[in-house]
Chains A and B, each alone.
Chain A
Amino acid sequence: MNDITLLREAGPAAPVLQPAVRVAARVALLDEIERSKTVPGRVRARLPRPRTAIRIGAGVTVAAVAWTAAVVIAAPDELGPPPGSVTLVAFEPPVFPLALDPMPAGLGVSYSADPGGVLHAGYSGVGDDHIYLTVQPDEPEQYDVDDIEDVTVDGRHAELVTGANTTCTGPGPECIDIEVPYVHLVWERRDGQWVQLSGGGRYEDANHLLALAADLVDRPQAVPLQVHLAPAGWSVHAYKEDRILTLVNDSYEQQEVNVHLPEEPFPADELLGELMGPVGPVIEATVNGRPAQLVQVQGGPRDPGWYLQAQFPDGRTFAVQAPSAFTRDEVIAFAQQVTYTP
């Protein structure tokens, strides 16, 4: 007898389906079927569609969050008009919770975060050596697995997952499928904190990954691109490679404010020509004591908004895209509290 047979033979037994229960369930289904026919086009109460976000704050009080804090919000059935105003509150920027100690020689790190509290640290340098560290509340999903080896990290069970991802390379539709082998070291470091390590170059093999896992420590890392002011009730939606930060309105998820570092800033006198859709005029402003350009833009049929191009004190350019729920002064105030510390 193996474990599967044992489960079938000795697992919990089910109660018998009584005729009355069966009839009642069938009647409930027929009732639902009947309602679906007799009320055409009605808006049925939708099952809650969970959305995970990192809440910034509620009300007008100071709010502090971490990347991993999460709330689940049911999406509204029908969108009404977007909220017409915001209340800016102080915001404690989120942090990446872990660090490698010692830091791998010759590598720098950048951070990203996806909705759902999935956090990434990418370590890379000038050569092929690189490391990806992912931290998330749920077990990471694995694709195209060839083998799973049980190992131990810091006394906890871990898995070395090997496989090969299929990637299409080459220009346009003529690309060619190639298989790229991978090794992932995955374990639940503590309850609700899953970690996945993978790498390339000299960090590609399992032994190096296990050695790196032993270097992992709890040490919150401040991310370089930060906002210190945010609308009450909004959340960090995503953060990409220290260059893009998106906040979203928890109660109206189409409403976002976005901060990014453009690769190639627009010259101030070319800004209007570069922005898409009906825009303008350019409103001259001051942010961090430097000239900034604020433009009213058509963000979409529901929500026009603002585009602000400004500079940090060191002269590096950043941009803010905000919905029209922000007033002109609020866009400026928000931008004044954006910092970048690479």
Chain B
Amino acid sequence: MPAQPPPPEPPFLRALPSAQPSDTELIAGSTADPELFAGLFDRHAVAVHRYLGRRVGDLADDLLSETFLIAFRRRSTYRPEHLEVRPWLMGIATNVVHGHKRSEQRRYRALARASAEPPRTGSATDESHDRVVAEAMRAPLAAALAGLKDRDRDVLLLFAWEQLSYEEIAAALDVPVGTVRSRLNRARRQTRAALGTTSPFEETR
């Protein structure tokens, strides 16, 4: 009698009964069991704080709480078929920043006034060269961000920092995808123009 073949390996990525609920499951379940929503805070607080912090600095400490309070109150309006939870939270955080435009502007201007560190030399690698260039560009880049219109800056930063797609940004900000494209196009063009001769790159799309 031939030997029986070994049983197949269980699917490596199969969800197990003990697997953590998804973001969507947490937010759906929080309607009946609100405490589940705290799980979303545990997963996304660092990312939301980082996004807020890049825009408004230390004020992010306060806006982090505000963002999640608003998200909790609006959880019944969340539609998983349109948007994942992280972009949804970033959209709420973006709207929270709008209430503190002056703080954001002040921050960019302060960063723009700060002297850029002189480029360090001594390394020939492309990676270190990029780092040196980036250091030199901090001040002019902050000035460029200060010069953008709020809505254009929203789209640019969600695209660049949070790496959201056009569709995700559109859903997060509740605007058409075409508007996202238009705002991003304008924001990138104005940023490049503001950097002018200091720009370290060729125009890219």
Q: Assess whether A269 is interfacial by the CB under 8 Å rule.
A: no
Q: Are A143 and B65 neighbours in the complex by a CB distance under 8 Å?
A: no
Q: Are A148 and B141 neighbours in the complex by a CB distance under 8 Å?
A: no
Whether A10 touches B135, Cβ cut-off 8 Å, given contacts A3-B191, A30-B38, A33-B72, is yes
- Please, which residues of chain A bring their CB within 8 A of the CB of B134? 1, 6, 9-10
Q: Are A148 and B185 neighbours in the complex by a CB distance under 8 Å?
A: yes
Which one of B4-12, B13-21, B80-88, B156-164 is at the interface? B156-164
How many chain B residues have a CB neighbour from A under 8 Å?
64
> Which residues of B (87-113) have their CB < 8 Å from a CB of A?
107-108, 111
Complex Cα distance, B170 from A141, in Å, reads 11
Whether A11 touches B135, Cβ cut-off 8 Å, given contacts A1-B201, A139-B151, A141-B179, is no
* B72, closest chain A residue (CB): A32
Whether A141 touches B178, Cβ cut-off 8 Å, given contacts A7-B160, A11-B141, A36-B34, is yes
- Please, which residues of chain A bring their CB within 8 A of the CB of B52? 14
Shortest Cβ distance from B176 into chain A, in angstroms?
5
User: Which secondary structure dominates chain A's binding surface?
Assistant: mixed
Q: Assess whether A8 is interfacial by the CB under 8 Å rule.
A: yes
Shortest Cβ distance from A21 into chain B, in angstroms?
5
Chain B proximity mask over A142-180: 1 for CB below 8 Å, otherwise 0: 111100101000000101010100000000000000000
Complex Cα distance, B69 from A44, in Å, reads 12
Q: Which of B111, B161, B192 contacts A3 (CB 8 A)?
A: B192
Q: Are B111 and A1 neighbours in the complex by a CB distance under 8 Å?
A: no
Complex Cα distance, B45 from A12, in Å, reads 19
Q: Assess whether A47 is interfacial by the CB under 8 Å rule.
A: yes
Shortest Cβ distance from A171 into chain B, in angstroms?
28
How big is chain A's contact interface, by range?
35 or more
Q: Are B182 and A6 neighbours in the complex by a CB distance under 8 Å?
A: no
> Which residues of B (45-60) have their CB < 8 Å from a CB of A?
45-46, 49-55, 57-58, 60
Q: Are A148 and B182 neighbours in the complex by a CB distance under 8 Å?
A: yes
Complex Cα distance, B107 from A143, in Å, reads 34
Shortest Cβ distance from B129 into chain A, in angstroms?
9
Please report the number of residue pairs spanning A and B whose Cβ atoms sit closer than 8 angstroms. 159
Shortest Cβ distance from A306 into chain B, in angstroms?
38
* A150, closest chain B residue (CB): B189
- Please, which residues of chain B bring their CB within 8 A of the CB of A8? 160-161
Whether A142 touches B138, Cβ cut-off 8 Å, given contacts A12-B111, A17-B64, A26-B45, is no
Q: Assess whether A43 is interfacial by the CB under 8 Å rule.
A: no
Shortest Cβ distance from B69 into chain A, in angstroms?
5
Q: Offer 8 A-B interface pairs, CB within 8 angstroms, sorted by A.
A: A4-B188, A6-B141, A10-B138, A12-B145, A22-B64, A28-B69, A33-B35, A145-B178
Q: A5-B201, A148-B181 are in contact. List 5 more A-B contacts (CB 8 A).
A: A4-B188, A9-B131, A12-B108, A14-B50, A33-B34
User: Which residues of A are at the interface with B, using a C-beta cutoff of 8 A?
Assistant: 1-15, 17-18, 21-22, 24-26, 28-30, 32-33, 36-37, 44, 47, 139, 141-145, 148, 150, 157, 159, 161, 163, 186
State the 9 A-B residue pairs at the shortest beta-carbon distance, nearest first: A14-B53, A145-B178, A142-B178, A10-B134, A9-B134, A2-B204, A25-B65, A7-B160, A17-B49
User: Which residues of B are at the interface with A, using a C-beta cutoff of 8 A?
Assistant: 34-35, 37-38, 41-42, 45-46, 49-55, 57-58, 60-61, 64-65, 68-70, 72-73, 107-108, 111, 130-131, 133-135, 137-138, 141-142, 145, 151, 156-157, 159-161, 175-179, 181-183, 185-186, 188-189, 191-192, 195, 200-202, 204
